[in-house]
Every structure is written in structure tokens, then in C-alpha cells.
Amino acid sequence: MDCIHNEKIKMDESLKEKMDMENNYNGNGSFSRGGGGQGYGQRPQIEYPLPVKIDRFYDDKGDVKKDLFDKTALEVAKSLGSKEVRLGVSSTQLRRFFDEVKRYDRLLSMQNQSWEKQKPYIRMLKSKIAYSVARVKKGSDKPYYKNLSEFVNSCIDCVEEKDDYHVFTSLFEAVYGFYYEIAPKD
């Protein structure tokens, strides 16, 4: 009978140890929420990509930078999310911003819309994106939304003329295309 009792105690201790690990019990009367380490039950640290800021659209000759719509756009897309960690700007949210940018592009293409009349509204995109970033709940996705804000703000700062805005729209379209491939699914 003594042998059965010892085996039961060992099973109970093993079960308790397993439960403690699953609940992140740290042995001193408290529970951890994960983070740093490689231990069981702890979340791995996520390394967020740095934002990609656009300082100018054109090279020294005045031509659109050759790698703007491929290499740069891909870097921006990668800074907005990752399929591997399933975090990032939602595809729906990115589409909303892109649609807004595209709307102004269409307005500027109309002959009766002047650049000077639309420029203040285009600048207002910065406040719209700031509002959206502020609404994101604190959590793992927030840094990706901040990267989106940095990208859009830096691009709008580069826009001085109607042609600059068309380049920005094309860049955003390229980013959106790359992002669709690498984005976490909504």
C-alpha cells in the first residue's frame, strides 16, 4: 500500500509541476505573463522592424529613384507586419488608407481640381492616420501601425507638387501589393 501512495504523490507532483508551467507559476507565489526567456510557457520576444522613412522620391538627376517601387516598397511592407508572427497592420485598415490616398489622386486627375485646393486635405491624411494609430489597442500590433504612420507622414512631407503626390500614390500602391503577400491574414 505504501508503494501505491508514493506513486500517487509522484503523479500529483508531476501534475502540479505541469500545471504550474502552463500557468506560468514562477515559484514565489506569483505568475508571470511571459516575455523574455526561452522557458516553457513564456512568449518569445518579438523583434519589431524599424520604420522606413522616405526622405525624397527623386534621385540627384530629378528622376524617380530606381528602387523606390520595388526595394523600398518591399522594405516598407515588411515594416508593417509579418506572416510568421501573425502580427501587423490589418489588410483592411491598410486598404482604407490606400483608398483614401487614391481618392485624392483621382481628384487631382480631374481638370477642375487644383493642387492648391486639395493640398490641405492631403496634409490632413497625417491626422487621420494618427487617429487610427491611437485607436489601436496597446499590444503587439501597435509598433506596426506606428511604422505605417511614419511611412505616410514622411511621404506627405515629401509632397510639394501634384506630380509628387502621384509618385506617393504609386509608392503606396507598390507597398500595398507587397504587403498583401506578406501580411498576416485578418
Fill in the DSSP letter of residue 25.
B
**Residues 35, 108: one domain?**
no
Residues 23 and 64: beta-carbon distance below 8 Å: no
Residues 42-99: tens digit of each pLDDT: 555 667 788 899 999 999 999 999 999 999 999 999 999 877 777 888 888 899 999 9
Number of domains in the chain: 2
Task: Indicate the residue type of 132.
Answer: S
Q: Is the pLDDT of residue 169 over 60?
A: yes
Residues 170-184: tens digit of each pLDDT: 999 999 999 988 876
Residues 171 and 57: beta-carbon distance below 8 Å: yes
Total residues found in the chain within this entry:
186
**Residues 108, 144: one domain?**
yes
Q: 11 or 49: whose pLDDT is higher?
A: 49
**Residues 123, 156: one domain?**
yes
Residue 19 domain boundaries: 1-45
Tell me how crowded residue 94 is: count the other CB atoms within 10 A of its CB.
22
Say how far apart CA 140 and CA 121 lie, in whole Å: 31
Task: Indicate the residue type of 111.
Answer: Q
Per-residue confidence (pLDDT) for residue 186, from 0 to 100: 57
This prediction has a pTM of 0.73
Question: Reduced to 3 states, what is the DSSP secondary structure of residue 2?
Answer: helix
Q: Is the pLDDT of residue 8 over 50?
A: no
Angle between helices 142-158 and 125-135 (to 10 degrees): 170
**Residues 88, 173: one domain?**
yes
Q: Is the pLDDT of residue 14 over 90?
A: no
**Residues 138, 105: one domain?**
yes
**Residues 152, 120: one domain?**
yes
**Residues 104, 19: one domain?**
no
Q: 89 or 101: whose pLDDT is higher?
A: 101
Per-residue confidence (pLDDT) for residue 41, from 0 to 100: 55
Per-residue confidence (pLDDT) for residue 142, from 0 to 100: 87
Q: Is the pLDDT of residue 31 over 90?
A: no
